Structures are given as C-alpha cells and as structure tokens.
Amino acid sequence: MGLDAYANSRFPFFTLNTMGCEYPNESMQEHLLGAGILIGALLDTGTSGQPKFTKAVLATEVQPLLEAGANWTSPVDTNNPWYRTSILNLNEPNHRSVDDDGDGKIDEDELDGIDSDGDGKIDEDYAAFSESDYYCAYTDSFHTFHERTNLHPLGVKIWQRSYAWANAVREPVLPVDYYLVNVGKKRLDSVYIGFNIWPTVGPLSKGIIQERNFVGYWAPLRTAYVHNPLDIGSTPIGFTLLETAKPLVQLKFFFTWWPFYNTISWFDIIDNQGDLYDYLRGKLLPNEPAIKPNQSLTDIGLYYLQFSFGPFETWDPGETLKVSLALVSGHSLEFGPDNLYDNARFAQTLYQRHYKPPIVLPAPKLNFEYGENNVTITWSPSASSRDPQDEWDEENSLASFYQPDHWRRRNPPPGMSKGGRVFEGYRLYRSEDPAGTANSFTLLKQWDVIDSVGPKYGYDTGIETTFVDSNLHTNKTYWYAVTSFGIPDLHVIDYLDFDGVVKKETLNTPSAETSVLASRKRVNLPFAVSSEPNKVLVVPNPYRVDENYTYEGGGWEGRGKTWNENKRLLKFIHLPPKCTIRIYSLVGDIIATLLHDNPVRGELDWNLLSESNRAIASGVYVFSVESEYGMQIGKFAVIR
C-alpha cells in the first residue's frame, strides 16, 4: 500500500507518474508514500526442551522496515496476486472469486478462515460488499524469499480486502480488512499488531512535501490525520482504526509519530526485530505516552506514524485475527462540505453497518397544474418503481427499536429480521436559478410522519403530497424538487482517550436525503388564456437582435451557454384557448400561420422564420388573431 509497490525497487521513486493515494481525482495531490500492517510476537525457536522465545516481527509494507530487521511477505499466488469482485458485476463473465490455484473454482479450503459476517464460519461464497472489492493474500512463510538467515518467520498468512464505491458512497472512504491467519505449526505469544504509515501529503510538484506535513489524532474517532497547511490545494488524509481483534477495553493501545527533523533518527534506535517488537508494545521509549499529543503547527514535518495494540496472549495455529482500517480524505480537516472529520465519522458508521451504505430513499415523481401566478405541485410515491415509504434498511439501529407490530417493522422483506422502514417525510425545494443547479435550491416546506410511539424525528406535521406555490411571476423560470428523507442512524463505539481511559463515542448519522437533482423539474409559468377580445400582445415588441432574451436575461430563449441563432423566439401572449394567428408583411404577403389549441397556456412561441424556413428581415409586421371571440389585428417590429 503506497506510492509504488514492486519487489525490484529499493525504494519507491517520487515521480509525477506514480501515485499512491490521490484526492481529488486527477488533482496530483499525493497522500501516501507507504503503509502496511506489522505483527510482532514471541516465537518459540527452540527445537527441544524448554521454550526459547525470540522476538519476531512481520512487516507487510514495501521496503522501509527491512533495515530494522523485519520479515518480508510475498504473494501467495505470484501469477495472480490480486482478485476483484463487485456487487455490480457478480454475474459478468470476467467476475472472479477466490481461486488461488487457477482451476476456475472457489477454493473453500484456501480462504483460511475469512469470516466476513462474524458467524465463526468460513464464507464459502465470498460475495462482494462494495462496488469494487479488491483482495489479495500474502505470507512470510516462504523461507526462500528471506535474504537474512537470522530472521525468524512467524508463519502468518494475511488476507487483505479493500472496498470502494462510486455510486452508493460518495465520501472519499476506502476501508481495508485484514484477516491474519496463523498458518505455522507453533503458537505465537504476546502478539502485538500495528499499522505503520509513511504519509506524504501535498502536491507532487513540490518535492519533499513530508517536511511540510503535520499529524494529529481524534481520539473519539480513532483517527490519525495528516495535513499540509503550507502548499495550496493540499487535501488531508486520515487513518481510521475500525476494529481490532479484541475490544479496546481488553487491550493496550498506542499511537505515536516521528518528526521529519530530529536529532535522533528512528533507525538509530530501531535496528533489529527486538527493538521493533518493543516499539510495537510501547516499551522501547519509556517516556513516550500511550497516545502521543498532536504535533505543533509551529514545528511541522512528519516522518511516519503508527497505531499498535495488544497483547493477544496466545495465537494458536489455524486461528484468525481480524483488524480493519480505513483510508479517508476530504477537502478540509473539520469544516465545510466534504471535510475529513465528517468522513471519518462516516467510515466508522459504514463499518458498523457491515459495509452496507445507508439507504437513500427514492424521489417521488412531480406533476404540475398552472393557475394565475401560481403553480400546484403534486407528487405520487406509488408512481415510482420504489415507494420511499416502504423502503427497509436492515442495518439501521434506530428502526430496530420499534416493536414488531409497528408499521416500521411489520411484514419485513424476505430474509430480513433486523432494521425497519426508515421513511420519515418529504421536503419541497425551489430554485430560481435558470440552470437549476443543486446548491441554488431553497427549502419551501417539510412534511414528516406523525410518530405516535417511539422516538420523534420531526415536527409531526403529517404527510401531504400537494402544495400550491403562489405569488409567482409569469414567464419566469422556476425549478422544483421534492426529496424523500429518512430517520437518522445511531451507533456507539469505544475509544481510548488521551488520559488512558476507554470511553464511548456516539455516531449519530443524519438521515439520508434524496438529491434535489433526482426529481427536479423546470416550470415556466405560462401566461393565462384570455376569453376577452383584443387582449393578445406580442413580446418583446420590438424584438431586437442585440438584446439578451435567454433565461439569464429574464427571457425564454434557453440558457446562455447553449444559445444560438436558432433559439430566437417571439411570443404571442393572452391568447384565447383556440385560435389561428397569421403574420403578414406590410404589403400583405403572408409570412407564417400559427395554430394555438391549449385550454391552459395562453401563449405561443414563434421562431421568426417564414413558412419557407427563412429568417425574417428587419421591419414592421402585421398579425391577426382569429377565434370564437372575434378578430384582432396588431403590429410588431423586428430590429436587426
């Protein structure tokens, strides 16, 4: 995991063509030089008699810890080191499941204890969790790959599996599960596990950006973060500990970091496996606190950081330990949209939900009826393929609190016993931006269900599906959207605070809401029909080709960025429900004939083209409107 990872390189080269962890996409903002999991244990290296315990460490990162005497790891299958599954392509021909020996079959015996659902059994189907699961297996038990004869392999095999989403999850969150299997013949004692991380945050073009990095730690989120406050455009990265193989209350937990500039080098004090093992268990530097304080912004520069935890007193052959970490990014540390703090909270929530993203309720379909300076908006949930009021979220813990006979819990979908229906209400938004961009919508009204029992999440207004928006301007462009929103979700996790006390953090996840773009519709409030004679007008009059009649200019000729000569329109307004419009030159030649038949819209557009499809010239034109109310004659001008 890192900037580059291949066995023939002594150290990853820092080049513009190589990227370890970039965010945003194609920004050239780097975040990660290298990272990996560390496993340290007391290994009985004796051949007979009394046990002879030796401190041994396995390192899964690319190169840096070799100087400290850590064991190497190598892919289990060098020909096919990586595999991929996806919830989006499980039925595609190129989908591959776990197949280490290449026989085209799922190797149940080669999963080596992968237990994704926690039921204590190997998951034979190994189904995908995300839109892009990547997994691989590697081990330190291949002795032929060790160059140092004094290293003692632990005999550990690691399954690494990462998850990514492009649609269901938009936050920059990349969880990684590690299943650690003791495939050796000996029990391992006093085991400590750690994540060793070599961050490098900032633009690739700025050289050695580590010297402008600083690290901090959010204890309630079990998240270390690294940011570059000096180079413009830098985005932070977080390393969120999701799970250890035992609860934190049963472990000692350590978080430390090493400055970029220091009088004593990290390698000056760690040059063998024994030192590295002691470092993992917080014994090498006796004056260091268990959780090191945040780095000062006045003394920045970061070499590396590390989590570690243990001990696991014994680790028997065949036993699996699971630990999980998430790489998290964002546009800022704690404030504004897409910030790292909120994304780290979401990473914890996503893990608690077994990597099942919160349900996003479908948006209802909108219908409109026009009146005098008003519009009536109606929506029908049943008109959609999915009714938002019936959506069931199996992982929502708050929905599970309701009694089985409550409407949220009655008649669950097949195979679901947890969770419940999470629908809470609708929100109506309006935008007066000609483009109808997402951030231009403002809330007009909200409706939510009346909760007679259990928690209350809104104002108990009751659900309605009709709204009349009044005092609107005729011929002005409006956008409307109705979103569905649900109840929040809640999970509680343990964390070790700076004072050494294990505490609890409540992850209150706001309710998921449909995007306004899912249901938005544009409304151009029409001129009403007229039943009186001599009410028809031409707008604009005169029509000037040097004027702006686009949406942005208050007109009706479309958006400015897509406008062209073919978009020119002149309007006849206050028309009778049914009439015939004829346009003449001053000498009486007929230019165009238009038919209007609409009981609601008292307007009709004309593209300023003659019946022979030629653009009309500058001048004064005569029009007639013939209807059951009589004949009206008028004039208008075109100025080119």
pLDDT digits (tens, 9 = 90+) for 85-108: 888 764 443 333 443 343 333 343
Q: Give pLDDT tens digits for 423-452.
A: 999 999 999 988 888 999 999 999 999 887
Q: Higher pLDDT residue, 52 or 609?
A: 609
Q: What's the token pair of residue 60? A: 């899964």
What is the SS3 assignment for 561? helix
The answer on pLDDT for 124 being more than 70 is no
The 3-state DSSP class for residue 430 equals strand
CB 58 within 8 A of CB 154: yes
Residue 315 near residue 323 (C-beta atoms within 8 A): no
For residue 24, cis peptide bond before it (omega within 30 degrees of 0) = yes
Q: Does 62 score more than 60 pLDDT?
A: no
Alpha carbons within 13 A on the beta-carbon side of 524: 15
Which backbone phi and psi does 628 adopt, to 5 degrees? -65, -15
- What is the rounded CA–CA span in Å between residue 563 and residue 546? 14
Query: What string of DSSP letters covers 48-84?
Result: SSS--EEEEEEE-SSSGGGGGTPBP-EES-SSS--EE
CA distance linking residue 15 with residue 205, whole number of Å: 9
pLDDT digits (tens, 9 = 90+) for 186-228: 899 999 999 989 899 999 888 889 999 999 999 999 999 999 9
Backbone φ, ψ for residue 453 (5° rounding): -135, 160
CA distance 611 to 622: 15
Q: Which residue has the tokens 């819209």?
A: 601
* pLDDT greater than 60 at residue 456: yes
What domains are defined for the chain? Answer: 29-352 (no CATH), 365-523 (2.60.40.10), 527-639 (2.60.40.3080)
Q: Sort 10 into a burial class: Cβ within 10 Å, 0-12 / 13-18 / 19+.
A: exposed
Please give the share of the chain, as a percent, with pLDDT higher than 70: 88
- Please confirm whether the linkage preceding 311 is cis (ω < 30° from 0): yes
Largest CA distance in the chain: 121
pLDDT higher than 70, residue 58:
yes
For the segment 267-282, the average pLDDT, to the nearest whole number, is 83
Contact (CB, 8 A) for 603 and 575: yes
**Residue the block writes with tokens 């109506």:** 428
474 Cβ neighbours under 8 A, 6+ residues apart: 373, 525, 526, 527, 528
Count Cα neighbours of 634 within 13 Å in the Cβ-side half-sphere.
18
Pick the most confident of 395-409, 506-520, 619-633.
619-633
Average pLDDT, stretch 233-255?
93
**pLDDT on residue 5:** 40
Please check whether residue 321 is in contact with residue 158, taking contact to mean a CB–CB distance below 8 angstroms: no
Q: Which helix (H) or strand (E) holds 341?
A: helix 340-352
Beta strands of 574-618 (E only): which ranges? 578-584, 590-597, 603-606
CA distance 427 to 484: 7
SS3 171: coil
The encoded tokens of residue 298 equal 């006045």
pLDDT of res. 12 = 47
Q: How confident is the model at residue 18 (pLDDT cuts 50, 70, 90)?
A: low
Burial group, residue 232, by CB count within 10 angstroms (0-12, 13-18, 19+): exposed
Provide the phi-psi class of 336: left if phi over 0, else alpha when psi is between -120 and 50, else beta: left
